[in-house]
Amino acid sequence: MKKGAYIKDIISQGMIDGIFCIESSKILTTKNGDPYLALTLMDKTGKIEARLWDIPSEFTPPQPGKFFKIAAEVQTFRDSLQLKIVKIEPVSKELPPIEEFLPVTSFDRTSLWKKLKRFIRSVEDPILRPILDWIFSDLGFKKAIYNAPAAKKIHHAYIGGLLEHSLGVTKLADKICETYKQLDRNLLITGALVHDIGKTREFKYDSPPIDYTDEGRLIGHLVLGVNMVDEVASNIGISADHPRILALKHLILSHHGQREFGAVVEPMTEEAMVLYMIDDMDAKLNYLLSLRKGLDGNKDEKIWTSFQHIMGRYFFLSPLKEENLSTQEDEIDENKQKTSLKKLQSTLWALDKEDE
């Protein structure tokens, strides 16, 4: 079934027809005491208020998270567009993909996955590599990692966010290992790849809005992640108490850095310290990127954001320019590097010939 109208495209009065998800639903009354249904509808492009008038007194409001096909008249109420529902019917079969109703990473997930798999192949540890191979396989958690968000609201809070975040942290880990040779690269890369796998069970994302599962709220993704590593180790016959597995589980349990930020234990190894810092860095830069995307004004001027309570400060940022943020950038850069290297080699070869 086709999605139909998108909320971002509702810009003027007229009739629209499409499938939407119910974010909130309640029965209110008019000044005359007549009941009506007040809805907030959502899809991947935004939210809009909708009203169904003249409902019977025994009317049962639709549940949040459910999908409905809606025909409505677009009206203006207090300078905002609002839908006057003409027809509403539930949709439970042949739904459009969930990506039509939740925000999705701007990166191509197929490309992200290929890059992630290259990092997995670079891990040579005989204990850690089988753990990675299982986790990122169809037998393990491939589908969940491919789709899961990395948060409910703050950073990478969209379909594919966990994949994007995990790859971002792994890239940073790889670069740091190039400078600090004393680090255990196999361990740090493995920790970067799996530090947040518990989020595949911490969040529900099969329908809007992204929210916590019961086990996610009661246990949290750090402990869930360790449980998943133990589960995989058991499946492939590796002891959960093996020193390499213990080192990996310490990275997962400590990557929030401090107990007040949710760490089960504080980092006690070099690799754990590094993972905490680069995880925090990738998350905060993604948050700031979302702020930049939301800024209005002159593209060439910096603008102060509103006060960001989560970080306790204002930020002085440039609105995001029309940059290509797709993962193709990496491939283009690599090609440029190869071309530059060939030019450099040709130049050096020519100079060598002159010296002869």
Give tens-digit pLDDT for 100-131.
888 899 899 999 999 999 999 999 999 999 99
Give tens-digit pLDDT for 302-350.
888 889 998 899 999 988 775 535 444 454 344 544 454 454 445 444 4
Give tens-digit pLDDT for 282-293.
999 999 998 888
Residue 324: the pLDDT is 39
Distance between CA atoms of residues 120 and 170, nearest Å = 10
Give tens-digit pLDDT for 236-248.
999 999 999 999 9
Q: Cα torsion for 88, 89, 92, 95, to the nearest 10°?
A: -50
DSSP state of 54: S
Hey, what domains does the chain have and what are their CATH numbers?
7-98 (2.40.50.140), 102-293 (1.10.3210), 295-326 (no CATH)
Judging by DSSP bridges, how do beta strands 203-204 and 303-304 pair with one another?
Answer: unpaired
Residue 342: the pLDDT is 52
Residue 335: the pLDDT is 52
The DSSP string of 104-160 is B-SS-HHHHHHHHHHHHHH---TTHHHHHHHHTSTTTTHHHHHH--S-SSSSS-SBT
Residue 25: the pLDDT is 93
Residue 154: the pLDDT is 85
Residue 351: the pLDDT is 42
Residue 217: the pLDDT is 96
Residue 340: the pLDDT is 46
Residue 56: the pLDDT is 87
Please count the other Cβ atoms lying within 10 Å of the Cβ belonging to residue 257: 18
Residue 356: the pLDDT is 41
Residue 298: the pLDDT is 55
Q: Is the pLDDT of residue 39 over 80?
A: yes
Residue 300: band (very low, low, confident or very high) from pLDDT cuts 50, 70, 90: low
Task: Answer with the residue of higher pLDDT: 38 or 102.
Answer: 38
Give tens-digit pLDDT for 12-37.
878 999 999 998 999 999 998 899 99
Please count the other Cβ atoms lying within 10 Å of the Cβ belonging to residue 185: 19
Distance between CA atoms of residues 161 and 146, nearest Å = 9
Residue 323: the pLDDT is 52
By mean pLDDT, which of 33-47, 122-136, 269-283 is the weakest?
Answer: 33-47
Chain centroid offset of residue 234 CA? 29
Residue 297: the pLDDT is 56
Say if CB 162 and CB 150 are below 8 A apart: yes
User: Residue with structure tokens 């549940």?
Assistant: 63
Residue 92: band (very low, low, confident or very high) from pLDDT cuts 50, 70, 90: confident
Contacts of 134 (CB under 8 A, 6+ apart): 140, 232, 235, 236
Q: The tokens of 56 are what?
A: 């019977």
Angle at 268 between CA 264 and CA 270, to 5 degrees: 125
Q: The tokens of 40 are what?
A: 């907030």
Give tens-digit pLDDT for 140-188.
999 999 999 999 988 999 999 999 999 999 999 999 999 999 999 999 9
Distance between CA atoms of residues 234 and 301, nearest Å = 56
